[in-house]
């Protein structure tokens, strides 16, 4: 069998990097300040039953260098981080248990949105259409409250639905606050009103087993910056686990 040329190998690597970039680019995170969004209507299931406009995902935070990683278990696939976390949690070694806690996922939610370039809602950003906004449990709870309130109702309805303004104050783990404010009822432009297949959208952003495994290995080989705030014993344990 002939060896692949460098050109072929680089082309493959480029395509993989491009795919990763496109995948991560389809997720939107709320930054400090205020954004105006419209949650898009969702396709019913094969039985015609209405579907939730939020998809719950297990989400790991693996430090400043790696940041967040979505677990493939969000769509029922194996996840190397969850496998390692369960393995460490069964250990009698306190350091293993500490590391297991670090690898415990938090619940996040993905919702398909249209984001506006302005807070008045007059200039929708076509490039944002169908991207998935990641929300915390508390934010999702606030949005459900409006949906369930008879005076507000179904915010995803393309004709009688409404936009939301989400404001984030603070940027740290302990000083960040979110507020959600509903806007008056407005018709969604026809070109954005087609129902979204939410599962398909989520599948597009889920990393592969191999990609998650690479992130896990990177985390377990913690860099100097990442270990500054960790006890020496735990750092040794993390490196030992990787070996």
pLDDT for the residue 13: 63
Question: Could you report the per-residue pLDDT of 182-205, keeping only the tens digit for each?
Answer: 999 999 999 999 999 999 999 999
d(CA 192, CA 186): 13
d(CA 230, CA 111): 35
Alpha helices in the chain (DSSP H): 6-25, 63-66, 80-89, 94-102, 137-148, 198-205, 209-220, 224-227, 232-242
- The pTM is what? 0.81
SS3 content of the chain, % helix, strand, coil (to 5): 40, 25, 35
pLDDT for the residue 175: 76
Structural contact between residues 124 and 117, judged by C-beta atoms closer than 8 angstroms? yes
Structural contact between residues 78 and 238, judged by C-beta atoms closer than 8 angstroms? no
Question: Could you report the per-residue pLDDT of 113-125, keeping only the tens digit for each?
Answer: 999 999 999 999 9
pLDDT for the residue 223: 47
d(CA 206, CA 143): 24
Ranges in the chain, pLDDT < 70: 1-4, 6-7, 11-24, 172-174, 222-243
Structural domains in the chain plus CATH codes: 25-196+206-242 (3.90.198)
Beta carbons within 8 Å of 133's beta carbon, 6+ residues apart: 27, 28, 29, 30, 37, 110, 111, 112, 113, 115
pLDDT for the residue 143: 95
Q: Parallel, antiparallel, or unpaired: how do β-strands 55-61 and 68-70 relate?
A: antiparallel
The number of CA neighbours under 13 Å toward the Cβ of 64 is 9
């Amino acid at each position: 069998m002939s060896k692949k040329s460098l050109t072929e190998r680089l082309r493959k690597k480029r395509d993989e990097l491009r795919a990763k970039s496109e995948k991560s680019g389809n997720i939107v995170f709320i930054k400090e300040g205020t954004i105006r969004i419209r949650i898009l209507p969702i396709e019913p299931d094969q039985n015609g039953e209405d579907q939730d406009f939020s998809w719950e995902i297990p989400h790991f935070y693996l430090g400043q260098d790696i940041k967040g990683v979505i677990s493939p278990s969000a769509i029922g696939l194996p996840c190397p981080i969850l496998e390692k976390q369960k393995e460490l949690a069964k250990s009698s070694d306190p350091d293993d248990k500490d590391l297991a806690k670090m690898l415990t996922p938090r619940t996040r939610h993905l919702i398909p949105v249209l984001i506006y370039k302005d807070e008045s809602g007059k200039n929708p950003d076509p490039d944002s259409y169908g991207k998935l906004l990641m929300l915390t449990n508390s934010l999702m709870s606030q949005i459900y409250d409006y949906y369930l309130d008879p005076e507000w109702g179904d915010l995803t309805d393309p004709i009688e639905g409404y936009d939301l303004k989400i404001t984030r104050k603070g940027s740290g783990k302990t000083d960040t606050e979110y507020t959600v404010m509903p806007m008056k009822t407005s018709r969604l432009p026809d070109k954005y009103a087609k129902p979204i297949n939410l599962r398909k959208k989520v599948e597009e952003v889920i990393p592969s087993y191999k990609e998650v495994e690479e992130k896990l290995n990177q985390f377990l080989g913690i860099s100097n910056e990442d270990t500054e705030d960790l006890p020496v014993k735990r750092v040794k344990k993390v490196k030992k686990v990787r070996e």
